[in-house]
Structure 1
C-alpha cells in the first residue's frame, strides 16, 4: 500500500520536462512575526497555477496506448480538472472533466482554454457518480485527485525539491484535502530524514482526515460547507492515503474559514501573491499554532492561485457570503 521513494524518483523523471521546479522563498515578514525561519513552497507559481499537474502527468504517462486512446475522466471543482486538462493537452490524450454548476468561473475559463470535454452537474457528488459510471461504460480511466498511486508519487516530487533547496528543514506544513499531497510529501521526507515533522492542515468545517487521524480509524464526520473547496467534502473511506498518512504525518491541524481569509489577505499585502482559499490553509496555521512553531525552520506549501477576481473580491470584503463543497 505504501508509496516508495523509487516511485517518486520515477515520477520525477517522467514529469520533469512538463512542470517547473517551483521557488522556495524565504519570508522575512512571517519569520520575524512568528519567531521562526519560514519558507514558502510556491506551487501557486506552478504551471496551471497549482500543484495538480504533477499527478495528472504522472498518471497519463503510465497508461498504455489503449488506455491513452480511450481517455481519462475526472470529477473536479477546479484545480484537479485543470491539471488533467493541461496534462492531456500536452500528451494528446482525450480528457473529460465533470464539474458542479457552481464551479468558479475563472476555473471554467481556464479549462475551456485547454479544449477538454466538460459537463456540469448539480453537485460535486453527482459529478463524481456520473464520472464513475461513464468510466465503467465507456472504458475511460477514472482519475482520483488523491486515491491513486501515480498521483501520490508525483506529489512527492515537491518534497524532493524542498530537500534540494533546504536540506536542513525541520517542519513542513501541508494543506490536506483527500490526503494525496500530504501522503506524497510525507513519504519522501520520512524516507530521507525521519526527524522532519510533517504537519497537515484541514478546514475546521471539513476535518475528515483530522478526525480519522486522531481516532486512528475511519469514522463518521460531520461536514459543513467551507470556502476552501479543494480541502472540503467527503473522502472515500477506502482511500489509500489514510494508512500512508498514519505512518508519515505527525499532526493534522484545523483552521477556520476566517483564518484562511486572513491568510489570503496577508499573502496579498505582504508578498503580493494571490492565493485561493485552499492554497492558503498552511499560512493560516501559522497564527493559530505560532507558539508551537517558534524557532523552527519551516516550509509551508502554498498550493494554488486559481480564483476569479470577482470571487476574490467577494470573499475578502464579505467572507460570509459564499460556502460550498468541492473536490480536490
Structure 2
C-alpha cells in the first residue's frame, strides 16, 4: 500500500512499552445490540483501564521514551482524555506533566487530570486555543510538546488496537472508528490496510464537528469556524496536514452522524451492553443506525474508545435517573 508516516515494526515495538493494563482489551461479539442494528456487531472495549480511554496506549509510548531520554517535563493540549492518560503515564515515570484545556471541557475529565497529579491550565476558548497555549508553553519552558495525532507515539500507540483486531477470529467486514484528531483512525487503519486489506475502514465524525471528514472528502485541509457537538473528544476544527495525508491512504470512507444518533448509540450501549460510553465512543453505533442497509448481513467491529463522561449529562442523554 502507499506509505504513511507509521511503521508496523515500530508499532509492534511500541506495544512492548505499554503497561499490560492497557493492552489486550476485551473484544467480543455483542449479540444484544444486533436486533437494533441489523448486523453482527463486535465491540473493542477501551474503557476498562485506569484512565477509561484508549489514549494511554500513546502516552505510555511517549512517556517511556521521554524518561529514557532524561527529559523530565512534557505539556499537551487535551479535551480531557489525553490529559488524563499523560498524567497517569507521566506520574508512573516521574515526569512533570502540564495539561492545557478549555475551561469549558467536561468537568469530570478535568477533575481526573488534577487527581492524577498533572498541572492543569485552563484557557478561554476551545481546543484549538488550548493547542496554541500548549505550544507556547513548550517554547517558553523548553519542554516537550506532545501533540495528539501529529506525534507518532500517539498514532502508533493507538495502532496497537489494530494489531489486536487483526488477531481476532473471525475477521470483520468493516471496522468503525471515531474520527477526531486522527490518531485512532490512522493508527488502526494503517495496521488493517497492511495486514487485513479486505476489512473496510470507516471513520465516523459528528455532523457538528466535521473538519477532518470534509478534508478527507475534498483531499485538502478544510477548517471550520465552530463546533456544535456533545462529542467533545472529537471536536477539532483545524486538521493537521500530515494526519490528513495518512488518512487519505488508510480510510475507505468517512461519514458524518447526527447528535440524535450519537445519543441513541449511547443509550443502546448502556441498555443493551451495560457500557457507559462517552459520546465519541458511540460514533460507530451511530453510523450503523443511520445506514442499516449498508451493514445488513455484515460483521462490523466498533471501538468503544472512551468512558469519561459527566454522570449527570450521561443520565440526561440516556434517559437514566
Superposed CA offset, 1:57-106 (max 9, x none): 1112222655522x110111210111111111111111001121122221
In 2 relative to 1, CA 198–263 (structure 1 residues): closer, same or farther, beyond 3 Å? same
**Is the contact made by 1:67 and 1:141 (CA closer than 8 Å) also made in structure 2?**
no
Q: In the alignment, what sits opposite 1:287?
A: 289
* Moved beyond 4 Å, runs of 4+: 64-67
Q: Which residue of 1 aligns with 2:44?
A: 41
Q: Which residue of 2 aligns with 1:324?
A: none
Q: CA RMSD in A?
A: 1.8
| SS in structure 1 at match of 2:75 | strand
Counterpart-to-counterpart distance in 2, 1:26 and 1:3: 29
Asked if the contact 2:159–2:187 (Cα under 8 Å) also holds between the matched residues in 1, the reply is yes
**Corresponding position of 2:243:** 241
On the 8 A contact 2:99/2:120 being kept in 1, the answer is yes
Displacement after TM superposition at 1:297 (Å): 1.6
SS at match of 1:205: coil
CA distance in 2 between counterparts of 1:163 and 1:137 reads: 43
Deviation string, structure 1 residues 185-229 (Cα, Å, up to 9, x no partner)? 000011102111100000001111211111122234454311101
Gaps of 5+ in 1: 319-328
Residue of structure 2 in register with 1:266 after alignment = 268
- Residue by residue over 1:96-149, the C-alpha shift from the partner in whole angstroms, topping out at 9 and shown as x without a partner, is 011211222211221122111111111233322221111001111111121111
Deviation at 1:172, TM superposition (A): 0.5
2:254 is aligned to 252
Equivalent residue, structure 1, for 2:25: 22
Residue matched to 1:173: 176
Write the mapping of 1:155-166 to structure 2, written as runs, cut at 5 A. 155-166=158-169
Could you tell me whether the CA contact under 8 Å between 2:58 and 2:156 is conserved in 1?
Answer: yes
**Deviation at residue 42 of structure 1 after TM alignment:** 0.6
> CA separation of 1:111/1:210 partners in 2, compared to 1, >3 Å: closer, same or farther?
same
Contact 1:68 1:94 in 2 (8 A): no
Query: Pick from 126, 130, 154: which aligns with 1:127?
Result: 130
Q: TM-score, normalised by structure 1?
A: 0.91
The whole-number CA distance in structure 2 between the counterparts of 1:115 and 1:224 is 30
Q: Which moved more, 1:261-270 or 1:27-36?
A: 27-36
- The answer as to whether partners of 1:211 and 1:221 remain within 8 angstroms in 2 is no
Distance 2:44 2:59 in 1: 20
Q: Note the 1:96-135 alignment, pairs <5 A.
A: 96-123=98-125, 124-135=127-138
Pairs within 5 Å for 1:176-325: 176-221=179-224, 223-238=226-241, 240-316=242-318
- For the 8 Å contact 1:206–1:222, the answer to whether it is kept is no
Contact 1:207 1:223 in 2 (8 A): no
TM-score (norm 2): 0.93
1:243: how far off? Answer: 1.0
Alpha-carbon offset, residue 279 of structure 1: 1.1
